[in-house]
Structure 1
Amino acid sequence: MKTIGILNCKILQDEILYLIETHPEIKEITVIENGVQEEFLQKLNKIGRQYKTVPSIHSLPDAQPPETGKNADDSYSVIIWNVELGLHSIPKKLKENIYENLEQFAPKVNGIFLMYGLCGNVLGNAEEDFKDILPVVILKEANGSVVDDCVGATLGGRTQYLNLLKSFKGVGTLIYTPMFSCSPLADFFMYPEGMFTDEQIYDMNKMMLDGANYQYVAKLHTGLEYTENFDENIQNVADLYNLKVIELEGGSQTIFENCFNELKLKLNI
């Protein structure tokens, strides 16, 4: 049985749940325990999907060559590796971390769905860099352009993203998907752990947002409802930083679905 590895920013865990629910041919689900998996496991329990966990990538056996011919079937397994948020603030470190993870993942699977975008313009060559090792598919548009980030993927690509940003007419706007709304703003700036108090972190966040003329927090509806308390989380951010809430439609799973299917095609699934 073939095995697909999914290496993802934890912000995209809802999109993985969507793929799991819309691809019933997935026979086995394995989740790597690395300290950021608990929320994802709770959601798997909620949708009633069975899974197993392993303590690390090194606990997995190497992938076996897939069966061919009349004994082959269409089912396959997935191994999911959620990656912590926060590395994005240091693009070089993000690339080093993701490439190291890809190298460790490669012997364990037949192909990898890399659920990232350019993310600081450092991951755009991942498919090419690993082409001689195994198939890797990153989040990209139908024309082959790698999306900028998770929000760009949800919106459907760069054109939609740029049009949305232009519509704000220069007014700073935080764009939140349901999973983004669950993470403290400090996670995005990656302050050194223990260096600042919560009050100091708040003051720095407020200073940066005010200095950049941020006035809105936008609630981007993805069509997925795996994450609870979206409205409440957005309102908390708005109240904390004195921002106005606006609603955004247009989120979809098209890019995630297309890229996942591209990898399946490369693996003859």
Structure 2
Amino acid sequence: MPVLGIIACRSLEDELAHVLSEDNELRQLIIIDNKACFDLSRKLRSKNRPHLIAAWEEIPEMLKDIRRTGPGILKPLLERSRHLCGLLGKAGDAGEEVIIVVNVLKIALNIDNKILKAYLSKNIQRMSQFSDSILLFYGRCGNALQDIETPQGRHCPLFFLTDGSGERVDDCIAATLGGNRQYGEALSSNQGVGYFCTPMQASSLDYTDREVRRYTIEHHLKPKSFGDILVELGYSKIAMLDTGLKFISDFEVESTINGFASLYHLKVVKLRGSVEIAERCYRQAKDDVIHSA
């Protein structure tokens, strides 16, 4: 039974919750226990997606148990899920089994590209110890992750978020808008936009603002918030992306963005997003790990 590891930025947490909750063949889902995982768990529970939260050190033995005895501790939850799927008219029979292990990383790591790459490389190294393949729910992030790879000596292919032409997306915004071309078009047609917000990024705006200020202080720079930097760079707008996912209420998203925009005298622009890239890349990575097993 192959293992697909997923390492995801919280910026794409809603998209990840969506693909996992809509996968009616998924029977084995484990989320690595850390401070960033609990909102994902809550969103999965809201969609009746059974899963376990486990510490790093518990996972290897847990995977052995699942492979040896089948669902084991997950069985009652999985049977309930199958029953619900039947009531809802969804497919209830599993295809080829795959175990998915998810590792959610905190938002705003890309404040420093070196820190982002080092942190992601460390997590890839840890997950490659028990994964057959790893899907990164990340873009290139300002080319910080352009040459990210599996540690030498380990056979664990990496899968990336790509657009329709197979090109890796620049960042989470390109993934949400449908690809790099769509991202470029959004930039050119919305002059003055300094930041594009997914619903998750909107809900974390205050946190990002504080993290940027903390970073400037720690590096002995003039204390500045994220909003201060946007204004200093001459940006006059902030974009709000609607992906159609409703894990976070429209009221909460709009209130947060409008409050941030008002504080820094920015205009709010609304844009339509998409989950196509998340859905397709998840499906492709899962199919590949099954066929390679």
Given the alignment, which residue of 199, 215, 220 partners 1:178? 199
Query: Which residue in 1 is equivalent to 2:254?
Result: 231
Decide whether the 8 Å contact of 1:127 with 1:137 is kept in 2: no
- Give a deviation string over 1:44-80, Cα, whole Å, max 9, x none: 221222211112x23211656x89xxxx951322111
What is the correspondence of 1:228-267 to structure 2 with a 5 Å cutoff?
Answer: 228=249, 229-249=252-272, 251-267=273-289
Name the CA shift for 1:129/1:138 in 2 (closer, same or farther; >3 Å).
farther
In the alignment of these two chains, the number of paired residues is 258
Counterparts of 1:132 and 1:206 in 2: how far apart (Å)? 42
What is the correspondence of 1:72-83 to structure 2 with a 5 Å cutoff?
Answer: 74-83=96-105
Shift of 1:187: 2.1
Name the CA shift for 1:14/1:207 in 2 (closer, same or farther; >3 Å).
closer
Shift of 1:25: 0.6
Stretches of structure 1 that go unaligned for 5 or more consecutive residues are none
Counterparts of 1:211 and 1:193 in 2: how far apart (Å)? 17
Query: Which residue in 2 is equivalent to 1:84?
Result: 106
Task: Check if 1:61 corresponds to 2:83.
Answer: no
Decide whether the 8 Å contact of 1:127 with 1:136 is kept in 2: yes
Name the CA shift for 1:131/1:162 in 2 (closer, same or farther; >3 Å).
farther
Task: Check if 1:117 corresponds to 2:139.
Answer: yes
Task: Check if 1:105 corresponds to 2:104.
Answer: no
Shift of 1:265: 2.7
Question: In proportion to residue count, which structure has more helix?
Answer: 2
RMSD: 2.8
Query: Which residue in 1 is equivalent to 2:30?
Result: 30
Name the CA shift for 1:54/1:8 in 2 (closer, same or farther; >3 Å).
same
Shift of 1:144: 2.7
Shift of 1:213: 2.0
Between 1:91-100 and 1:204-213, the stretch displaced more is: 204-213
Question: How high is the TM-score relative to the length of structure 2?
Answer: 0.79
Query: Which residue in 2 is equivalent to 1:222?
Result: 243
Decide whether the 8 Å contact of 2:21 with 2:44 is kept in 1: no
Whichever residue aligns with residue 33 of structure 2, its letter is E
Moved over 4 A (4+): 127-132, 193-196
Between 1:144-153 and 1:43-52, the stretch displaced more is: 43-52
- Give a deviation string over 1:142-168, Cα, whole Å, max 9, x none: 333211100001111111111111112
